[in-house]
A and B are shown apart, each in its own frame.
Chain A
Amino acid sequence: MSQNSEVVVHQEHVHEAHAHVGEHVHRDDMGSKMGMWLFLFTEVLLFGGMFILYASYRFIYSDAYKVAAAELDTYIGTINTIILLASSCAVVLGIVALQRKNKGLCLGFLWFTQACGAAFMVNKYFEWTHKIHLGIYPKGPALADMSEGEVVFFGLYYVMTGLHGLHIIVGMIFIGTIMVMIQKNKITHDNYQKLENAGLYWHLVDVIWIFLFPLFYLIH
């Protein structure tokens, strides 16, 4: 069964044009990984643009940045960092489990990753709503009384952590799709490149947080 469905998947995957190729359908794990890495480059540059803005404004408003950063809750930030690091570790363990043909364990690790992602978002939700409750949001009453540097700091804070949160959600959907494919044996111990790609994406989201955390929460 698993063999059969895999062949069908491949034929669909490659495309109808491969009319008389039949047996040796093109599958290129290396190419797939390369495409993923290129995509990750683009993500790095996407956030890179915002890190440039962060750095420039830190230079212009260094004092205001220190005041604003004190408003952020270091505890929640630290907990979220630990959650993400644990989730990344779980993805790696999941890949190894699948390589060792232990499908159940692999899915278990991926469920743990999903739970971590969800926990991260819940924390983020409480963090944001608390800030918004205090009136610290763009055009909010409290932020209107603050200095220009603080307005920019919180503008960047919302955009950068918001976009990062969006990436967490995309990552969870990505991993969720992969889990369905593992369940259906479309991803197996000898054909796991898609899982590895999802893992790479998840690590990237993690790495971006590793930079966001000290820049916003720790530097006072």
Chain B
Amino acid sequence: MANGSIAVPAEPKGKLVDFYKQESKHKGIWSWLLTVDHKRIGLMYLLVMIGFFLTAMTFGFLMRLEMLTPGATIMKPQTYNTLFTLHGVIMVFLFIIPGVPAVFGNFIMPIQIGAKDVIFPRLNLLSWYLYIAGGIIALISLFTGTGAADTGWTFYVPYSIRTTTNVSLTVFAAFVLGFSSILTGLNFITTIHRMRAPGMTFFKMPLFCWGIYGTAWIQVLATPVIGITLVLVILERTLGIGVFDPALGGDPLLYQHLFWIYSHPAVYIMILPAMGVVSDIIATFSRKPIFGYTPIAMSTLAIALVGYLVWGHHMFSAGTSDTSNVIFSLLTFLVAIPTGVKVFNWVASLYRGSIEVTAPMLYALCFIFVFSIGGLTGLVLGTLNTDIHLTDTYFVVAHFHYVMFGGMGILFFASLHYWFPKMFGRMYNEKVAKLACIIFVIGFNGLYFPMFIAGYLGMPRRYYDYLPEFQVYHVISTVGSWIMISGILLMFANLLRGLRQGAVAPANPWDSTTLEWTVPSPPPMENFEEIPVVTKGPYDREGLIESKVKHQLKH
């Protein structure tokens, strides 16, 4: 038989082989590189993504170090331009956007809906290879040609057309990554529509799946626009087609429109699945069903929808008309409503809950605090008159990092801790994990909060030099970056230690209610021996309590 695994007889009940040990027709490293198992693909994403994250974090660290004193500290202006471009490109395109969907969406979502895999497993593997290809091209663009791109991650024309650096290749990398993102989104939408277990209606899905679902739609509907826009930049650079180049009759503002038509919804690609994670975690560790399940699910779709129509707020000072500015400002405020609905529902879920502050819960709580700061300062930027004052200052940088890193970043860490036992079958040291979280959050606020003040006072973004009066904020910020990075390194060290020496994880270490906790840790190859029939809501604890009582009575 050509397909070796089909010859493997079914394991006796209750002794399923976990997916790490399951034999397949490929051996060794190829059993990973040619796998079509959603869990293995998720883990491959995780591994590569952590590598990219640490790289971009190092770039950020070096930038902060440069800003410690006015003037040249450790690098030249051109190096600084390159660093903030690469920091942005790698973080945005390789970590923040694909982070939660590609890793946890792949690993967890199919199990949560009671499926054996995603609907197009081979397409899923193709997405991973496109992701790797995009990453490799981005890295190649660093070291070849006429120097790494220095445009910032937004590749604004006309500078991106004029600069002699290696912009075309970097842009092409982003294009390839976009393809990967589209295919993942397409796969997940179809999976959620077609592969749910019997009884798993849309409104019995865990909220993480709702987040993945909303995100997948944005991935499918927004990414192609930036794809073509980036292709046009490449063509403009190589052929001079004139569609963006003002010297030939093009309008640079149209580039900004097309760029943000994608890149603003992309913000919600980053945050929606993360918001799903926080819903799952809060329900679990408050030991009660989430408050307002339906509003949270619906607000996910509302954010996805309205988030589509707010891109113009990136261009308030770029010369767009007053009418469009007012409309975009209004729509921007509207996004705050469904986001507020979510935050209030999370807080209400805590009320009269039996709260257990574990590491994932601590991350989730820190997220609510930090993300609220990020969200509210977003309203300051969405207001027309204050935005004119704050455009292109550190205030924007601070806001951006509070929502992106404070949102998606913290929740990526939360997910990593929450699903770590499920993914690796081991526990980590809880105390160290919490300590790392606290150090991280203190450093985070130390790093980014002074930027609000410096920006308000007029410190422009993307400058490698500054006036002496801003130094105090930069020093606090740089020290904050050291604290934050120590927290992150401690966190990874602790997880790594857990991976090697941690206690063996039970199937359901957190007393969670969703389906992924009903299968062994780590899950067997096809997740379920028999596809479960779902009869209760995702956060319904009753059955769980009964089985626990029975279990305790037996012993």
Contacts and interface: CB of A to CB of B under 8 A. Distances in A.
A41 B222 CA distance: 10
A57 B254 CA distance: 10
Contact of A31 (B8, B119, B254, B525): B119
A28 B121 CA distance: 13
Size class of the B contact interface (CB-based, 8 Å)? 35 or more
Contact of A159 (B36, B186, B189, B243): B243
Contacts of A61: 249
Interface string A22-40: 1000101011001100110
Given A35-B190, A38-B189, A152 B25 contact: no
Contacts of B121: 14-15, 17
B258 to A, nearest CB: 5
Interface in B106-130: 116-117, 119-123
Nearest to A139: B240
Given A15-B36, A52-B258, A156-B243, A31 B229 contact: no
Interface in B186-242: 186-187, 189-190, 193-195, 220-225, 227-229, 232, 235, 239-242
Interface stretch (A42-50, A85-93, A180-188, A208-216): A42-50
Contact of B194 (A34, A39, A41, A43): A34
A12 interface: yes
B27 to A, nearest CB: 12
B330 to A, nearest CB: 22
B549 interface: no
B340 to A, nearest CB: 30
Contacts of A149: 249
A155 B37 contact: no
B22 interface: yes
A159 B190 contact: no
Contacts of B190: 31, 34-35, 38
Given A15-B121, A48-B225, A151-B248, A28 B194 contact: yes
Given A17-B24, A56-B254, A148-B249, A46 B225 contact: yes
A17 B36 contact: yes
Contacts of B229: 49
A18 B224 contact: no
Contacts, number: 144
Contact of A39 (B4, B186, B195, B258): B186
Nearest to B527: A17
Interface string B89-106: 000000000000000000
A60 interface: yes
A151 B249 CA distance: 7
A53 B194 contact: no
A20 B4 contact: no
B324 interface: no
A19 interface: yes
B5 interface: yes
B544 interface: no
Contacts of B9: 20
Contact of B119 (A11, A35, A60, A151): A35
Contacts of B24: 16-17
B242 A151 contact: yes
A153 B229 CA distance: 17
B250 interface: yes
Interface string A1-22: 0000000100111111111111
Contact of B8 (A19, A42, A47, A155): A19
A15 B242 contact: no
Given A46-B227, A138-B239, A19 B6 contact: yes
Interface string B162-190: 00000000000000000000100111011
Contacts of A139: 239-240
B193 A31 contact: yes
Nearest to B244: A53
A41 B220 contact: yes
B525 A17 contact: yes
A158 interface: yes
10 contacts: A8-B2, A13-B122, A15-B122, A16-B25, A20-B9, A38-B185, A152-B242, A155-B243, A156-B241, A156-B243
Given A31-B195, A149-B249, 19 more contacts: A15-B36, A15-B121, A16-B5, A17-B5, A17-B37, A19-B6, A19-B22, A20-B8, A20-B10, A30-B194, A34-B193, A35-B119, A41-B220, A41-B221, A42-B186, A46-B228, A48-B224, A152-B249, A155-B241
